[in-house]
Structure 1
């Protein structure tokens, strides 16, 4: 990569921003306007600069892409699951980017009925995503959503599966999903605020009528909440949910009574989260009520559902995070996490037996899969690890016999899991807390400080990055890289308290944990600062932005994907999509205490005249989660202030949003760009 070419320069138009009597000047605020041709011109200059600087890696990027693609089975298909008499599966054809959704009646080997061929539907679009597929109770109709922009604003449509006719009904600006009532003509769906993109309204639509006639069933007035609608696994109830980061509330309606009124399940209480499962004449409630930090399960009769009637079913445990409950006719299944590790517990309703599925690794991931069939004794779950490809397993809960329905194929003939080593180590944070790190590397990789290491984390919203297998990652491991997942506070790897210790006024723990993990990996000779790299996306991109301000000399290179870096300005603007729903995660900067704390770490506001590592920043013009202008402003300010000659590259996908490209293999081209950036810095592109 060449660094001689002059980087794009951005004009300054100072804008004064005042909050709590304090004055900030944002010279690049004008980049917020995507309709301004000067903004588009600047983004195109950055892309041209990226293309020129990385021109010597273009062939290598192409080779990486083909290498990554070659490991993936092109004519692949999902394991069929049974629902209401049909076996449903998704498959791909050789040379095609998009899935084909199909089903077979009664038997897995019956003739396939193609429901949607997304390859045909995607023609003429730079981006295409089909979501929210929902089949009517009589199996004859399908509701589905289509997004051709990548802002997660779906057009809801309907198809007659007997004739192939797509109805004229088109409902814009929805979440893409719909729930059928038992009459096979009434659906409930969720619309978004067109400006903030918050899911705020539930409507009822009668098939064949104009959407202008749709009835508003519920409007979530509190702008810190979003709303959604779904049907219980028992099919008896349609449920409207409202949730914020800390609080939830539900309303229920019998599926056979679409003209009825939704009834409140239990009113929202600040800080009380709960979710519902239905079985027989009772609801089972997973909740943190009454200080159950790691959650417990309550149950209640379906006639009296408010919280004063809840009775304890599974007690709270300090050492075990209860993540979910899956209900079957004769069993229920608990998804738990203890000491960071997933556990699956199976219990008979009659109390005659309960047991855990056995797992003997400390860097594995397992979770309950797709189980829509209520009347079955077979549990489908998924297992993989950092060194073991993913397997879909059907487990007979009565006989304990298991059948591996599918093991992920790694094509090319070169992969042998015995060639790779995984381990879990524990770094000590600056406050004495032990932070776990999951590691994987080729068995021939030296552990003497000379090896390159890519450290990844997310660390927000209680979202846990489990140690998972990746065929793409092999392109790094086979070239001598160590890959590390830092399970920092802000996720839920070590339980709910682990999340609480990495949010709001404790958010900086996420950043310092990551840095302390880096220092540990250097001290233990896994790598050195000259060979250490870090990566994170979205809220993980915020982590990257904070880390490079706080410890810029610790890393040789950083990848920040769709990074949330302009924290204060964004959180003060409640017109920006999804801002208000974030207050319980980051704090509301309209309150001085939170404003001051955010200002102390906001990456954009803390860029200073110092050396920074080599950096690759990526975004999508249509991003609905983190607007493109956050990384654009950040890069502009970094270019202005940084004192080094290290690479600063900004690559903007002008057709995509938060999730990147929509095609199955197109996303690999973005991975290839990132890997080429790292491998070039390590002089390993030959």
Structure 2
């Protein structure tokens, strides 16, 4: 497409206007592009906004940012106050609970004023001398964005692979550091996958996943020998199907290097190589088969396999080494249960630990491998989230797990699986006078229009009236089987302390209620996700938790798609909506296989080259269904370098809404010109984006303090 140097007149006007002049929103130029699929014609007036290098596009995004600043100028002080308030709750000099792996105890810590974590270790005990492996604050200097994408220490404890991203495009550069000397090796391997690397036992051979810089899909595994030119690295595995996502790592037993290929909701396949034989060939654990998903944990001479083979909610099997491809050799350990979803597992010498979901809540089940006695840990709150933490040692009777709730800060526990004694190792310290007893959480079910029972978790400050007068923020995600659990957030206190109720609708598309909950919220059943959210909103207003003039909604990424769909369906229900990095141009994106994530998500949304899926997706795609009608106040956020949802989707959506909507409500677009999908990388800088969202919401209910 021919690029033009013509700048938006409205953009220039916006930059030059004085405070005395009216605030005029920018308007993107209309440049119709005809799109034909399955014989159906669409016209996209803003397709050209995908030209990231076009000065006209960049100036439009900057003009929208300037417009937002002017509209929200009355609450600029509030935004600053919110930021300082949220920052003030964070213990600046903090440290994680250490874990022992090999001869060392590993932990992270933060220093006062530091944006980034410092990764440390001590040999033998926590009384040993501290060794700083990576200081994120030093490494981030000179970068507007910085992220360490995991690290892996060699078997001799002397070397560490790590990955770093300085753009927020999720294309990481792999580096190697000598932890004894502090020196970096000359290797700087670009376009790798974060966290997907592993050492062989020889302490000089490593494996890593290479990504396609266009699609951002990991598709190749290479073997690299330390000190050699990466151009001579050996390709050891290539994923030919671009619908699969790849990962790589060492097994808990350290015996195997594992390559995983996963097509969400469709199939899984593992390739294994003994770490002591780095020049050997990877072998397939079990060939992929459509509909079969599995996870594995190696222990001694066998594998534990979490599998959905003849088990929708998954069951647990075991199989000897050498017989993994023969499913007749698989032995059932935990049978399938229609009301319990087996989410994950961990294996110890004497115990088996399962992460389960039942009736929308997480549970941790501990089984004694010798006596077969089992128990569920008791958490004692109506809405919470508990999960198995990192436990690298087989030979221990202590389970580390995490816990939090809507009123309980993030906590780390050690649980003695023999004595049944829990020990709280650390609870997030919330400064500023936080007292969990000042807050109340509730959990209940809402009957959706088709009879489905949708769990709802909510929290509010004691004394908040439930007579319809309280403002309420309703949050959901509802895609990919990702569950939105009722965990703690210190930033959320800024809303609760100003009288807000916060509600999580655990809608279909997530996996809170088991695998069927996910299956009923994807593909040709995707509208259940949107209907559930709207039905919960109607319940909350009908039952006086709030009223339509004080009900707000928020969601990000696929949750941003949710926001776009519900304001097309029921705009009258909401006073304001925050759509963060929203996936709103569903049809066009899913037709473009060069865009990151597209091919891997055909089994989530459908392939629009198939007319049935095209018609269905077209019927709910937020961008395609913008109409001439009144919409709620809307704040849309994005990142110029977003690797998950490209910035042009929200930009096009806002541009189209500007000319179509019939109301005078606020329509604001904020583009982070330095970051991507996750926003700013620093722990404090990220708070500024939350402060912006909260200031937008609070302004609409007349809160300026």
Partner of 1:343: 363
Partner of 1:600: 619
SS of equivalent residue, structure 1 residue 606? coil
The equivalent of 1:91 in structure 2 is 109
Counterpart of 2:624 in 1: which secondary structure? helix
Verify: 1:568 aligned to 2:587, yes or no. yes
C-alpha displacement of 1:126: 0.1
User: Residues of 2 paired with 1:307 and 1:527: CA distance?
Assistant: 57
The residue correspondences of 1:177-192 to structure 2 (distance < 5 A) are: 177=195, 178-192=197-211
Aligned to 1:381: 401
Alpha-carbon distance between aligned partners in 2 of 1:307 and 1:2, rounded to the nearest angstrom: 77
**For each residue in 1:317-353, what CA deviation from the matched residue of structure 2 results, as whole angstroms up to 9, or x when unmatched?**
0010000110112211000111111111111222343
The 1-side partners of 2:73 and 2:597 are apart by: 37
Per-residue CA shift, 1:417-469, capped at 9, x if unaligned?
11111001211111111111101001111100011000000000000011011
Matched, 1:458 2:477: yes
- State the Cα distance separating 1:4 from its structure 2 match: 4.8
1:439 alignment partner, SS class: strand
Partner of 2:334: 314
Matching of residue 104 in structure 1 with residue 122 in structure 2: yes
For 2:46 and 2:371, locate their aligned partners in 1 and report how far apart those are by CA, in whole Å.
64
2:603 to 555, 576, 584: 584
* Residue number among 266, 269, 290 corresponding to 2:289 in the alignment: 269
2:538 maps to what in 1?
Answer: 519
Instruction: State the distance in 2 between where 1:374 and 1:190 align.
Output: 27
In structure 1, what is the Cα distance between the partners aligned to 2:114 and 2:435? 28
- Give how far 1:109 is off: 2.1
CA contact (8 A) 1:341 1:362 kept: no
Segments of 4+ in structure 1 off by > 3 A? 1-4
Aligned partners of 1:405, 1:97: CA distance in 2, in Å?
A: 24
Tell me, yes or no, if structure 1 residue 116 matches structure 2 residue 134. yes
Name the structure 2 match of 1:368: 388
Residues 459-495 of structure 1, C-alpha deviations (whole Å, 9 max, x = no match):
0000001101111000000000000000000001111
From 245, 253, 257, the counterpart of 1:226? 245
Determine helix, strand or coil for the equivalent of 1:604: coil
Q: Is the 8 A contact 1:615 1:648 kept in 2?
A: yes
Structure 2 CA distance, aligned partners of 1:2 and 1:239? 64
Consecutive unaligned residues of structure 2, counting only runs of 5 or more, are 1-18
Task: Report deviation, 1:378.
Answer: 0.7
Q: CA deviation at 1:355?
A: 1.4
| Paired residues for 1:241-260 under 5 Å | 241-245=260-264, 246-260=266-280
Q: In structure 1, how many angstroms separate the alpha carbons of the residues matched to 2:435 and 2:162?
A: 40
CA contact (8 A) 1:541 1:564 kept: yes
* Contact in 2 for aligned 1:3/1:647 (Cα 8 Å): no
SS in 2 for 1:389: coil
> For the residues of structure 2 that align with 1:347 and 1:136, how far apart are their CA atoms?
32
Partner of 1:14: 32
CA deviation map 1:100-156 (0-9, x unaligned): 100000101211110011111100000000112100000000000010000110000
How many residues matched? 684
Q: Output the CA distance in 1 between the equivalents of 2:177 and 2:203.
A: 12
Q: Give the match for residue 80 of structure 2.
A: 62
Residue 663 of structure 1, CA deviation: 0.4
- Post-superposition offset of 1:3: 12
- The answer to whether the 8 Å contact 1:202/1:228 transfers is no
CA deviation vs aligned residue, 1:15-37 (integer Å, no higher than 9, x gap): 00000011000000000110111
Alignment counterpart, residue 515 of structure 2, candidates 491, 496, 521? 496
CA distance in 2, matches of 1:537, 1:28: 22
Counterpart of 1:172?
190
1:652-671 correspondence to structure 2 within 5 Å: 652-671=671-690
Q: Give, in whole Å, the separation in 2 of the partners of 1:31 and 1:560.
A: 19
Counterpart CA distance in 2 for 1:402 and 1:262 is: 41
Q: How far has the Cα of 1:416 moved from its partner?
A: 1.3
- Is contact 1:295–1:316 with CA below 8 Å preserved after alignment? yes
Select 1:44's aligned residue among 62, 66, 70: 62
In structure 2, how many angstroms separate the alpha carbons of the residues matched to 1:612 and 1:19? 29
RMSD between aligned alpha carbons?
1.1
Q: Within 5 A, what are the aligned runs for 1:473-484? A: 473-484=492-503
One of 555, 558, 577 as aligned partner of 1:558? 577
Match of 2:6 in 1: none
Aligned residue for 1:622, secondary structure, equals coil
Cα deviation, 1:376-429, whole Å, max 9, x if unaligned, reads 11100111110111210111111112211101111112x111111100121111
Change (3 A) 1:311 1:4: farther
> SS of 2:491's equivalent?
coil
Aligned equivalent of 1:684: 703
Residue 325 of structure 1 corresponds to which residue in structure 2? 345
- Pick from 144, 148, 154: which aligns with 1:136? 154
SS in 2 for 1:257: coil
- TM-score for the superposition, normalised by structure 1: 0.99
Q: Distance in 2 between matches of 1:417 and 1:241?
A: 41
Q: Which residue of 1 aligns with 2:551?
A: 532
Report the equivalent of 2:7.
Answer: none
